[in-house]
Chains A and B, each alone.
Chain A
């Protein structure tokens, strides 16, 4: 690519080509939809197209994640933009015959609003989408991520062209600073400031790193961006390289994300072919190239100094800071580390300007944020919303509320570093600082909703169990302290808690926060401290009354058959431990001494006649 003019000419040409293939069928190829069988749907669609002589008329495009994972496999037919969900290979015949040949919508495959029961044909009218405002996800699910031209047609790489040909490096940093962009990976450090530190560090060699080691359980936004719009991440990184004066970058991506790695490799080679990576970009003297490093499964490598150690081929253990990576990072050189979503926001800031970007959001948290909605919620998937929206809007308006008429109990935000917020905090506007004040954390943006059946002590134990197994062992407060906290929590969930345990947990938690070396340890106590703060009565019930109010902690519950039992023998047949007895049409009985409390009987009972207490 020799100039911005050349890029714009290519864009126009590609746009014209794309308009010719206006008729297309988008099949979501995100990980959620792959798991629900989109590959088979795609194959069935292409044979149906062939059978109806439509293969020249319609193009099937496999896109990245469209966000609405719960309803996958998703199929969108253009130009009508009809949105079909839960499509199976068997449905494709009808879909092709009705929608494509007769131009009639296939009612049964449309999304049905859970409240009004109305069928909705355009995704833009579905509350899950209409309440969103997409920047980082804007292209995900709409373009073919393996075709650089589709990205260019959306205006892709123009921000890079503008930055390197029309702006000084310092101007780029000033724009990012003014936009108020803060790191989307968890800490929320101002991105422009980080760039400035790395630019100001004196050294001939500097590096750019993209942290794609998304490890928070319940967060999958980085994966979806890498799979759905990899070029946007590359563009952000190249602009960062120009701004700080680096000519080399690394993307550190989890090896558990094979599809993301594949698409990144393809994107890098396409960008090199087009001269968007390499030497003399846009005819200037700016050179930049990118390499992929696959992680090997260590949560702590999401911490920037541990990540750098891992790229160097070492055990991924963090170092004390300062010196910060912006001063001494990869191989001792100044290094700028940002996460995937942060880089995805850069091109928009450069193209539209800082003012437009910062017009969205709150005073100190600008722009939009992607959240991964999961757990006990009707609409699971990825959503991008303006900062400052309330948790209630996300959970009820976009997420469609709690399934099976259950009561909302808590929302866990920020993964193992975050906390659990109760109902009274649902009106809290979401931004970095308000969440931290409430004892949670933005983290990477995983939102896991919990209902009355989730035990908060068990959730705290669950996160500590995770932290203990992922603690790298370098500093004592984290490696030993979290272990001691876990022991106490295990004791409590087994009904062996002592009265002084709760204070002990609080003490330990605060000490670990104050004295740990890195972010993993400093935030490890958050799930415990926040649940102790908001759900102390549940802890007390375990310790004082030896009961688990949510019915989740096995040693504290027993299974009972109620009088609603009709004697259908279903549970007798299904019980893996063979401890349920009873004749047909007679009330069954559970031998509680041998019962493993696996819950299969509750799953299969058609009369809800088995309860835990």
Chain B
């Protein structure tokens, strides 16, 4: 039987939080460091589990509720695990007038999830974003670091296939 790897169990906690402790050492651990610490922690863990937020609150000597408040205020932070591939569909103005919503709809149909959700197999997370600054190529989506521009809904399944393999 596989054992739980997350930090919820006391015996795993220390090991689980070791990378976070290393991150915290790079900072003076003042309140102003909260956002950069959360950013680094999310980079490390992929998302921000409760045990990580608690540890950050203790180290920076801020209330847990304040840490939670900041985490939920900014759209960059996620409290749930994210998919292996993160799809960001641009719905900025330029993409909107060139049919960005049609791309999102097709992605939702293909993946069977709504905007902001992750597929059950943790393969894809789908989110809409306001502008990625590649308006010349509208409509655009980004999958991880790859930009796919001048899209039509018909191209969506083919593009997803590239990420579904392997």
Contacts and interface: CB of A to CB of B under 8 A. Distances in A.
Contacts of B38: 296
A576 B30 CA distance: 53
A327 interface: no
Interface in A588-610: 596, 598-600, 603-604
A446 B138 CA distance: 14
Contacts of B33: 313
Given A35-B147, A576-B106, A314 B134 contact: no
Interface residues of A, number: 60
Contacts of A214: 133
Contacts of B102: 598-599
Contacts of A315: 69-70, 73
Interface residues of B, number: 44
Nearest to A37: B147
Interface in A360-375: 372, 374-375
A310 B129 CA distance: 20
B54 interface: no
Contacts of B130: 215, 217, 299, 466, 470
Contact of B154 (A31, A376, A603): A603
- Give me the 4 closest cross-chain CB pairs, A-B, nearest first: A69-B136, A217-B92, A374-B135, A296-B74
A603 B152 contact: yes
Contacts, number: 143
A298 B131 contact: no
A458 to B, nearest CB: 8
Interface centre among B70, B106, B132, B135, by most chain A C-beta atoms within 10 angstroms, is B135
12 contacts: A32-B135, A36-B149, A217-B96, A217-B130, A218-B94, A220-B135, A223-B133, A295-B74, A313-B34, A374-B93, A446-B93, A462-B93
Contacts of B140: 35
A255 B77 CA distance: 11
B133 A448 contact: no
A311 B92 contact: no
A509 interface: no
Nearest to A455: B97
A69 B134 contact: yes
Interface of B: 30-36, 38-39, 69-70, 73-77, 91-94, 96-99, 102, 105-106, 109, 129-138, 140, 147, 149, 152-154
A450 interface: yes
Given A35-B147, A374-B93, A296 B76 contact: yes
Nearest to A301: B74
B76 to A, nearest CB: 4
A63 interface: no
Nearest to B105: A598
Contacts of B34: 313
B136 A450 contact: no
A257 B133 CA distance: 9
Interface in A538-578: 574, 576
B3 to A, nearest CB: 34
Contacts of A412: 93
A217 B131 contact: yes
Interface centre among B99, B106, B109, B133, by most chain A C-beta atoms within 10 angstroms, is B133
